[in-house]
Amino acid sequence: MARPSSVRRQPPTVREAIGAWHREGKTLDEILDALDDAFSVKISRSALHRHVKGLDKVLERLERSRVIAEAAVRRFGKEPESKTARANIELMQAAIQEIMGAEADPESGMVIAKPMDAMLLAKALEHLTKASRHDAEYIGKIREAAAKEAAAKMEKAAKTAIAESAGQPLAPEAVLERIRAIYRGEA
């Protein structure tokens, strides 16, 4: 295993400061000067460059994920939980496909997978399948609860309408309208 870089060996406060200065747009030389002034830390310019380059890659991935998440929120934001769960499942599927595409041999197009990668991918697919099943079960439970609640409200509305009519004959349309008003909470 490779030894941690001189930047990775620094305390979290120093690494966070490097990230913050980089996001502010400071140059490598400005960051090196700031490190010396603020923390009395000496890091080689090449080590800092490698670290900042890694930060850029991470930030690019995060930005891509953020854009995808924002698109998902725009598409599913006001949707019920089931749609949000489906969006998460779709995002996971896209991530798996991206991983598989990144591992493809450029000449043959065949996916090259190390045993550990294959195992992790299989685990991810297993979790994805479980998430889909749980989503379907969740939707079923919600529908069942909604049906029970609607039946209970309708029964209560019907009993209230009967009690309020005090034995007076009402036309079926009037009874239905009265039940609807009670059901909606308007009466």
CA angle, 14 then 19 then 24, to 5°: 125
CB atoms within 10 A of CB 89: 17
Q: Residue 40: which domain range?
A: 1-78
Nearest to 124 by CA among 163, 154, 92, 171: 92
Identify whether 93 is part of a domain: no
- Provide the mean pLDDT of the chain: 78
DSSP H helices in 77-171: 81-102, 115-165
Identify whether 132 is part of a domain: no
Structural domain count, the chain: 1
Average pLDDT over residues 171-178: 77
Identify whether 31 is part of a domain: yes
pLDDT (0 to 100) of residue 103: 54
pLDDT (0 to 100) of residue 175: 75
Average pLDDT over residues 8-35: 93
Average pLDDT over residues 89-96: 67
Identify whether 97 is part of a domain: no
Identify whether 46 is part of a domain: yes
* pLDDT at position 81 over 60: no
Identify whether 143 is part of a domain: no
* pLDDT at position 153 over 70: yes
Identify whether 166 is part of a domain: no
pLDDT (0 to 100) of residue 105: 54
Identify whether 94 is part of a domain: no
Phi, psi for 43 (deg, rounded to 5): -130, 145
